[in-house]
Amino acid sequence: MFEMKAVPPRPAGLDTRQLQWSTRTQYRDPHLCGNYTQGPLRASAPAPGTDLENNLYLYKPTEPAASTDVIQNVGTSNPGDFVQLGHSSTQLVNNITFVGDNTDAKSNGALTVSAVRDANAFNNTYPTRFYNVFHVGVELGSSQMGIYSNTLSEWFLKNTADGVEKYSNSVFIVTDDLANCSIVDTGIIQEGNPGNLRYASGIRYYNTDGTIEVLNGTAENITGQAFYGPADRDDVVQVTYNTAVDGTGNPLGSTTKGVGWSSILQPTELDNGVPVADIGRDSKYSLKGYAISLTGSNVKSRAQLKWRINSPINVSTYKTFPQTVNMWSGSYQGVN
């Protein structure tokens, strides 16, 4: 008597597997800008503000190779089936056709297939010579990464099994040749909210309830296709104590005062709160004036302050304001 057994299910195809980058960005909290540039996409476009640590952000198209994890034991690799690497929309750039069991690795451009084998070799519940499986991964060199410059593009895998098409998820790359950010014009400090001023020898001093306004600062290469994120971070610009011309104490009351995107960008440079692309790219951008509170205690000094600005590529060098900030927040005898 023969025992009839059910046909085992086919090993999982690409449509149930996760393609992901094994290399990650080495840059500084890159998030996708508003109104970023994108090529034609098959999948839904990532939303502005997306954290690119989970994809791959490259600031130059000529960066070294970017690799995905190898997806193992994908079914099936029967003769005549094939796997393809797709790039943006439905453009298929590399193809490997299977010709049967073959343990030799195969490569075509950025696409690599390895360990083509009988499914029984990784799971003995499969009958021998019933299904084949394969490992597949992607390694992009500079030529593939340079297909689109200063653009978000998409990569995905597709294979056929007995004539049925299976697609992996999509992964994205942002290529960008943004240069290092720098401060062009230091700007000036002027009085903001004077608060309860103090006077000594005809000199005005702030107390702890005053603010200063920073005006006319300019910087270049602030954003490319990505920005230093997230959008609500409060330390894009950092103002800190430099030195006391005379006296002692830090008018800021802390090491650094941070300023966020909404305080330094004009409304036209924000897309629902997300910085737009290419702010100050290779040209200086005038920052919106912003306020800094003076909260130092037991300060009696004429102090100089300095500032710097962050981008996803670097943090600029400090520039020192030419004006001094006069503050007297300790014990006081004088004429108000």
Output the pLDDT for position 335: 46
Amino acid at 43: A
Q: CB neighbours (10 Å) of residue 202?
A: 6
Name the residue with tokens 């912003």: 290
Q: Report the candidate in 99, 279, 70, 302 with the shortest Cα–Cα distance to residue 200.
A: 302
Among the ranges given (62-66, 177-181, 233-237), the one the predictor scored with the smallest mean pLDDT: 62-66
End-to-end CA distance of the chain: 110
In the beta sheet, which residues pair with residue 280?
A: none
Contact 150, 223 (CB under 8 A): no
Contact 48, 152 (CB under 8 A): no
Question: Residue 223 phi/psi, 5° resolution?
Answer: -130, 155
Tell me the two tokens of residue 321: 């304001």
pTM, whole model, 2 decimals?
0.86
Contact 248, 270 (CB under 8 A): no
To the nearest whole number, what is the mean pLDDT of the chain?
86
Whole-Å CA distances, 60 to 25, 26, 40, 151, 282: 12, 12, 20, 11, 15
Q: Report the candidate in 260, 281, 226, 309 with the shortest Cα–Cα distance to residue 30.
A: 226
Count of alpha carbons within 13 Å of 180, Cβ hemisphere only?
A: 8
Output the pLDDT for position 99: 64
Measured distance CA(127)–CA(73) in Å, rounded: 15
Question: Residue 143 phi/psi, 5° resolution?
Answer: -65, -40
In the beta sheet, which residues pair with residue 75?
A: 133
Among the ranges given (34-38, 121-125, 275-279, 330-334), the one the predictor scored with the smallest mean pLDDT: 330-334
Output the pLDDT for position 224: 94
Contact 248, 299 (CB under 8 A): yes
pLDDT one-digit tens code per residue, 258-290: 999 999 999 999 999 999 999 999 999 999 999
In the beta sheet, which residues pair with residue 15?
A: none
Q: Give the model's confidence band at 186: pLDDT under 50 very low, under 70 low, under 90 confident, else very high.
A: very high
pLDDT one-digit tens code per residue, 32-80: 999 999 878 888 889 999 998 777 777 676 676 788 899 998 887 677 7
Q: Are strands 300-309 and 237-248 parallel, antiparallel or unpaired?
A: antiparallel
Provide the 8-state DSSP code for 52: G
Does pLDDT of 101 surpass 80?
no
Non-local (6+) Cβ contacts of 178 within 8 A are 59, 221, 223, 224, 225, 281, 311, 312, 313
Provide the 8-state DSSP code for 79: T
Output the pLDDT for position 306: 96
Contact 309, 316 (CB under 8 A): yes
Measured distance CA(252)–CA(232) in Å, rounded: 22
In the beta sheet, which residues pair with residue 95?
A: 84
Does pLDDT of 334 surpass 60?
no
Rounding to the nearest 10 degrees, give the CA dihedral for residues 40, 44, 48, 54.
-100
Segments of 255-330 assigned E as strands = 256-259, 270-271, 274-275, 284-286, 290-293, 300-309, 319-328
